[in-house]
Chain A
Amino acid sequence: MITATKEDLAIDVHGLDISYMSGSRRVNVLSGVSLQLRQGEVLGLVGESGSGKSTMAGVLLASLRTSSFVSSGTVHLDGVDVFKLAGKELRAFRAGHVALVPQNAGAALTPTMRIGEQLTEGFRLDSAASETCESRRARAIELLKLVRLPDAAAALEKYPHQFSGGQQQRIGIAMALAARPRLLVLDEPTTGLDVVTQAAILDTLTRLHKELGMAMVLVSHDLGVIDKMCSQVAVLRRGKVVESGDTSTVLRNPSHPYTKGLLASVPRVTVPGIPPSLDDAAIDAFEKGAEMHPVDGALYERLAPQGTAPVLTIRGLSVDYNRKPKPGSAPTVLDVDLDVHAGEIVALVGESGSGKSTIANVVAGLQGRQAGQLTLNAQTELAPRVAHRAKSVRRAVQIIFQNADTSLNPRRTVRDAITRPLRLFNVKGLTAEQALAEVGLPVNFTERLPGQLSGGQRQRVGIARAVSAGPSLVLADEIVSALDVSVQSSILRLMDRLAKENNIGFLFITHDLAVVRSVADRVVVLYLGRIVEEGTVSEIFGSVSHPYTSLLMASVIEVGDDHSGAIAPGQDEVPAGPPAQGCPFASRCPLVMDICRSVRPPAIEVSGTHSIRCHAPLEKLEHL
C-alpha cells in the first residue's frame, strides 16, 4: 500500500499479536495486525466494543494491560521498536515522542494537582520552555490558548474538577501537546460529550493538526467522526483489521461486508427510517470462507398512528431541586406541557442537564414536583409519589433503562426478572417464555443470569420486563445509547413493533438526533428544562427550527458530509443552570436580542403541530 523507508513512517506495525492467558489457553486480543502511517497523516481506528481498538491505542504508547503481552510482531514508531524500550529510555520516548489524549479526561487528570503544574511537568525535557518559571508559565498559557480554553491564565491555578467535561477534554489535549509529540493518540476523545461540545473539540483538533502537523491516530466507534478527521482508516473487528486504506475509499466504497454492514446500520439525521441491522453470523461465515449474500439495505420507515387517544398528558410541570427558591436561580424544569398518544413514539431530546430524565422520573413517581398535572389515559390523575398510586396505575406505566447492566439484578435470573411484575400485577396467561419470545430472545434464556447475556440481550430482557406487564405508557430512557450501532437498529425496530402491535405509547428520551429521526413520530426539544420546540419528526427536521435545534443539527457529524462547517467559538459553553428570566438559550443564541434576556419567548405556531418558542421572526429561523 505504502512504499516508504522506515523513517518516513510515523507508525509501522507488522504482524502484531497481543494475547493474554485464560487458564492455559492463549486468547488473542489483537491478531495479525499490520498498519502503516506516514508522518503528518491522521489514521482512524474504527470498531465496536471488543474490537481491540483501545488495546491498539495502548500499543502505540508501548503500554499494555498487565496480563497482556506481545506474542508476535513488531511496533515501530519513527523507526524505533517501542517494545524493545524499557525503563529510562521508554520514559524518555514517551515524554518526547508520543502522547495520549485519553477517553475520559475527567478521570485522567490528577485531582489533587493544579492544571498549571500538571501541564508543566509534561515539558520537562523541552529545554526551551522549561528554563525559567516565567517561560514555563508562558508556554502553559500558550498551550491552553491553543486548545481554546477560555481564560487560560486563571485556569493554571484551578483544579480539574472545576471545569466542565468539554473543558477537561481540552486540557487533556493541551497536556498531550505539552511535550510537542510527533505522534498524538486520541482514544475516543469525544465519546460521552454532548454533540455541540464534540463538534467544537473536533474543530479544535483539526486546526491543531493543520498548525502543528504531527501524525495522529484517532480511535472511535463513530464513523462520522472518523470520516471528518482521518485521511486513513483501519476497520477492526474482533482483533483483526478487516479493511484499511484511504478514508474516502473505505467509507464511500467499502469492500468488506462488515464495513458495508456497519455503514448501513448507522441511522442518519438526513434520512428518515430505521436502518437494517448487521448480520454478525453471516460475516463470521464470510470470514471462514463462505459466500456473503447481498444484504437488503433498505430502511424501514415507521408510520405514525393516526387519531389515537392520549395515554399521558402533562400540563404545566415544574420541578425545582432547591427546596426554597434561591435568588438568581430558576426551577430545573419549568412549565412543560407534553402529550403521548397510544401507539406513538414521542422523543424527548436534549443535551445532558436538559432535565429530560427528571421529567421521566416525575412521570414514574420517583421524583416530586412543585407544580403541574399528570393524567393517564385521559382519566386517571397520577399521584406525585409511586407509593400513592393504585396497582393498575403502576402497571400501566413501565420503565426501560439506559444501562442494561444495572437495570437487572445480577443475582436474579431472567425468569425472576420477568415473572415478578407478572405476579405482582396479576397478569394472566403470559409466561416468561412467551415474554422472551415477544422480544425476540430464545425461550431457554429464562434460567440465565444477566452476566451471561450480551448488552443487546440484556436490553431485550429489560424491555420484556416492562412490556409483559401490559403497560399503556413506557418510559424509555436512552435505551440504545449504551449499545453498539449494529445492535441499535434491532432494538429500535422492536420498539416500533411493540408500539404498533401492543398500542403502547413510548416516551423516548435521547440525546441522539439520528436515532430520533429514524424512530420517533413526534419530537419535543428540551433545553435547560424548558421546551424550545415541538413538532412531528418531519417538521423538526424540516427547514424551520429553533436556533438551538439548528445548532444541534449543525453539530451532528455523519459520513458523507462535507465537514466544512465549524461551531462558532463559545457556542459549546453550556451555562450551569437556567436563567431566572427570559429565554434559556439567550447566552448561546446567534440571533439574541435584548428582549430575549428579560421576557420569556412566546410560542410561534408554525403549524397545528409545530411550535417554536422564540422572539425572532419566523423568517430568521429558516435555515439552509
Chain B
Amino acid sequence: MTSPTIVVESTQVGRGFWTDLSRVIRSILRSKPATLGFALVTLHVLLAVFAPLLAPGNPTSNNPAAVLQFPGGAYPLGTDTLGRDILSRTLYGGQYALTVSFASTALAVLLGTIIAGLAAFYGGWLDQVITRLLDSVLAVPAILAMLVLVTVFGSGPEVIVLAVVVVYTGGVTRVVRAAAMDIMPKDYIVAARARGEGVFYILSREVFPNILDVVLVEFAMRASWVVLLVSSLSFLGFGANPPTPDWGLMVAENRSLMAVVPLATLAPIVFLATLIVGLNLAADGLAKSLGVDRMKEILG
C-alpha cells in the first residue's frame, strides 16, 4: 500500500544524479545524529590532512630530555616514555587510520560488488561455488586470518589493506549479492534478458544503479568496522610499525603508564572513538535517507 504522502513527494522530485544527491544531503541534514556523524568524519579528515600545519612538534622525534612530561608549555598534552609530543602523535595518528581504512574498504566493496553482480547474474553453479568459497573464507576467524597474513607478508600498510580485503570481501559480497538477487527477478531485468542484452549492460545499466544505495551504506558501515579492526591490529603489535603515529599503537605503548600520563592513553582513545562513532552515525543517517535497512545489511 503506497501512502498518499509518498505519491505527492515523488511527483515533486527532479531527475538525475545531482538532484538525488541534494535530496540525500537534505534528508541527512534534517537528522541531528546524521549531521553530527558527517561533521565528525569531516573533522577527522581535515585534522589528518592538515596535521603537519596543526601539530606543534614532530610526531616521531624522541626527546630523552622531556620524557613523561605533564601537559603544558611546548607539549600541550604532555609527552610519552620516549619524550614524543602526544598531541602531535594523536593528530598525525588519523593519517594512518584513515588512509589504510578507506583504501581497504573501497577495494573490498568494489571487489565484493563485482563478484556479487556476477554471482547474481549467472546464478546456478557459479553462484553456488562463489557462495561456498566465500563461506569458507568467512569461517576462518577474521583476526586469525589477519594475524597470519601479517606474519607471512610483513606489517606494511599495503599488507594490512590486502588482509582487510581478504577478510571483508566475503561479507560485502553476501550483502550486495542479496540486494542484486532482489533486483534480478524484476520485470525490467526480464525485459533486458528477453532482448538478449549482455552481462555487462545488464549489470552496469540495469542492476547497479538500483543497488547503489546498498553499496554506499555497505561502504560507510564497513569503514567503521575496518577502522576498528585496523586499530586493534596495531594495538596487538601486528599493525602500524613503531614509530608510526597510530592510535591503537599509542594505547598499547602507554596503557601501562595510565596512572602516570593518562592523556597519552586517553587522547588517542577519544580520537579513535569519535571517528568510529562519527562513521557509525553517518552510516545510520545514510541508510535512513537512502531507505536501506542497515541491520539487514549485516546479515546479507
A–B direct contact (CB < 8 Å) = yes
Interface residues of A (CB under 8 A from B): 20, 22, 27, 29, 50, 54, 65, 67, 364-366, 386-387, 389, 391, 394, 397-399, 401-403, 406-413, 417, 420-421, 424-425, 447-449, 451-452, 465
Most buried by A among B1, B3, B9: B3
Say whether B13 faces chain A, with CB atoms less than 8 Å apart: yes
Starting from the known contacts A387-B196, A394-B196, A407-B188, 13 additional A-B residue pairs (CB-CB under 8 Å) come to A20-B3, A22-B5, A27-B5, A50-B7, A366-B190, A386-B194, A391-B196, A399-B194, A406-B187, A407-B187, A409-B206, A411-B210, A424-B197
- Please name all residues of chain B whose beta carbon is closer than 8 Å to the beta carbon of A391 when the two chains form the complex: 196
- Please name all residues of chain B whose beta carbon is closer than 8 Å to the beta carbon of A386 when the two chains form the complex: 193-194, 196
Which of B5, B9, B13, B209 makes the CB contact (< 8 A) with A409? B209
Contact code string B180-220 (vs A, CB < 8 Å = 1, else 0) = 00000011101101111100000001100110000000000
CA distance A409 to B190 in the complex (A): 11
**B292–chain A nearest beta-carbon distance, Å:** 15
Instruction: Say yes or no: A449 contacts B8, CB within 8 Å.
Output: no
Instruction: Say yes or no: B191 contacts A366, CB within 8 Å.
Output: no
Say whether B10 faces chain A, with CB atoms less than 8 Å apart: yes
CA distance A448 to B7 in the complex (A): 15
CA distance A59 to B186 in the complex (A): 35
Chain B residue with Cβ nearest A20: B5
- Please name all residues of chain A whose beta carbon is closer than 8 Å to the beta carbon of B209 when the two chains form the complex: 409, 411-412
**A86–chain B nearest beta-carbon distance, Å:** 24
Say whether B4 faces chain A, with CB atoms less than 8 Å apart: yes
Chain A residue with Cβ nearest B12: A452
CA distance A117 to B197 in the complex (A): 52
CA distance A22 to B13 in the complex (A): 14
Main secondary structure of the interface of A (DSSP, over half): mixed
Say whether B15 faces chain A, with CB atoms less than 8 Å apart: yes
Chain B residue with Cβ nearest A67: B5
**A174–chain B nearest beta-carbon distance, Å:** 24
- Please name all residues of chain B whose beta carbon is closer than 8 Å to the beta carbon of A408 when the two chains form the complex: 188
- Please name all residues of chain A whose beta carbon is closer than 8 Å to the beta carbon of B10 when the two chains form the complex: 451-452
- Please name all residues of chain A whose beta carbon is closer than 8 Å to the beta carbon of B3 when the two chains form the complex: 20, 65, 67
Instruction: Say yes or no: A54 contacts B15, CB within 8 Å.
Output: no
Chain B residue with Cβ nearest A49: B2
- Please name all residues of chain A whose beta carbon is closer than 8 Å to the beta carbon of B194 when the two chains form the complex: 364-366, 386, 394, 397-399
Chain B residue with Cβ nearest A54: B1
**B251–chain A nearest beta-carbon distance, Å:** 45
Chain A residue with Cβ nearest B11: A452
- Please name all residues of chain B whose beta carbon is closer than 8 Å to the beta carbon of A54 when the two chains form the complex: 1
List 6 tightest A-B contacts by C-beta distance, closest first.
A407-B187, A411-B209, A401-B187, A409-B188, A394-B196, A451-B10
- Please name all residues of chain A whose beta carbon is closer than 8 Å to the beta carbon of B13 when the two chains form the complex: 451-452
**A388–chain B nearest beta-carbon distance, Å:** 10
- Please name all residues of chain B whose beta carbon is closer than 8 Å to the beta carbon of A365 when the two chains form the complex: 194
Chain B residue with Cβ nearest A452: B11
CA distance A424 to B3 in the complex (A): 38
- Please name all residues of chain A whose beta carbon is closer than 8 Å to the beta carbon of B9 when the two chains form the complex: 22
CA distance A424 to B191 in the complex (A): 13
Instruction: Say yes or no: A448 contacts B8, CB within 8 Å.
Output: no
Contact code string B242-261 (vs A, CB < 8 Å = 1, else 0) = 00000000000000000000
Instruction: Say yes or no: A413 contacts B15, CB within 8 Å.
Output: yes
**A61–chain B nearest beta-carbon distance, Å:** 16
- Please name all residues of chain A whose beta carbon is closer than 8 Å to the beta carbon of B196 when the two chains form the complex: 386-387, 389, 391, 394, 424
**A402–chain B nearest beta-carbon distance, Å:** 8
Which of A366, A401, A411 makes the CB contact (< 8 A) with B193? A366
Contact code string B124-160 (vs A, CB < 8 Å = 1, else 0) = 0000000000000000000000000000000000000
- Please name all residues of chain A whose beta carbon is closer than 8 Å to the beta carbon of B190 when the two chains form the complex: 366, 399, 401
Which of B195, B206, B210 makes the CB contact (< 8 A) with A394? B195
**B193–chain A nearest beta-carbon distance, Å:** 6
Chain B residue with Cβ nearest A417: B188
Most buried by A among B1, B3, B11, B195: B195
Instruction: Say yes or no: B186 contacts A406, CB within 8 Å.
Output: yes
CA distance A379 to B17 in the complex (A): 47
CA distance A341 to B209 in the complex (A): 39
Which of A394, A402, A406, A413 makes the CB contact (< 8 A) with B188? A406
Question: What would be 24 A-B contacts, judged by CB atoms less than 8 Å apart?
Answer: A27-B5, A27-B8, A65-B3, A67-B3, A364-B194, A386-B196, A389-B196, A391-B196, A394-B195, A394-B196, A397-B194, A398-B194, A399-B190, A399-B191, A401-B191, A406-B186, A407-B186, A407-B187, A407-B191, A409-B206, A410-B210, A411-B210, A413-B15, A452-B11
Chain B residue with Cβ nearest A413: B15
- Please name all residues of chain B whose beta carbon is closer than 8 Å to the beta carbon of A29 when the two chains form the complex: 4
- Please name all residues of chain A whose beta carbon is closer than 8 Å to the beta carbon of B193 when the two chains form the complex: 366, 386
**A37–chain B nearest beta-carbon distance, Å:** 25
CA distance A596 to B261 in the complex (A): 94
**B88–chain A nearest beta-carbon distance, Å:** 47
Chain A residue with Cβ nearest B209: A411
Instruction: Say yes or no: B15 contacts A22, CB within 8 Å.
Output: no
CA distance A27 to B187 in the complex (A): 33
CA distance A67 to B4 in the complex (A): 11
CA distance A141 to B187 in the complex (A): 43
Contact code string B5-31 (vs A, CB < 8 Å = 1, else 0) = 101111101010000000000000000
CA distance A447 to B13 in the complex (A): 13
**A461–chain B nearest beta-carbon distance, Å:** 11
- Please name all residues of chain B whose beta carbon is closer than 8 Å to the beta carbon of A413 when the two chains form the complex: 15
CA distance A398 to B13 in the complex (A): 31
- Please name all residues of chain B whose beta carbon is closer than 8 Å to the beta carbon of A407 when the two chains form the complex: 186-188, 191
- Please name all residues of chain B whose beta carbon is closer than 8 Å to the beta carbon of A425 when the two chains form the complex: 195
CA distance A30 to B206 in the complex (A): 39
From known contacts A366-B190, A389-B196, A452-B11, infer whether A409 and B210 are also in contact, taking CB-CB under 8 Å.
yes
Instruction: Say yes or no: A449 contacts B4, CB within 8 Å.
Output: no
**B106–chain A nearest beta-carbon distance, Å:** 22
Instruction: Say yes or no: B11 contacts A27, CB within 8 Å.
Output: no
- Please name all residues of chain B whose beta carbon is closer than 8 Å to the beta carbon of A67 when the two chains form the complex: 3, 5
- Please name all residues of chain B whose beta carbon is closer than 8 Å to the beta carbon of A65 when the two chains form the complex: 3
Chain B residue with Cβ nearest A25: B8
Chain A residue with Cβ nearest B194: A364
CA distance A398 to B194 in the complex (A): 8
Most buried by A among B1, B7, B188: B188
Instruction: Say yes or no: A449 contacts B188, CB within 8 Å.
Output: no
**B201–chain A nearest beta-carbon distance, Å:** 9
Instruction: Say yes or no: A22 contacts B188, CB within 8 Å.
Output: no
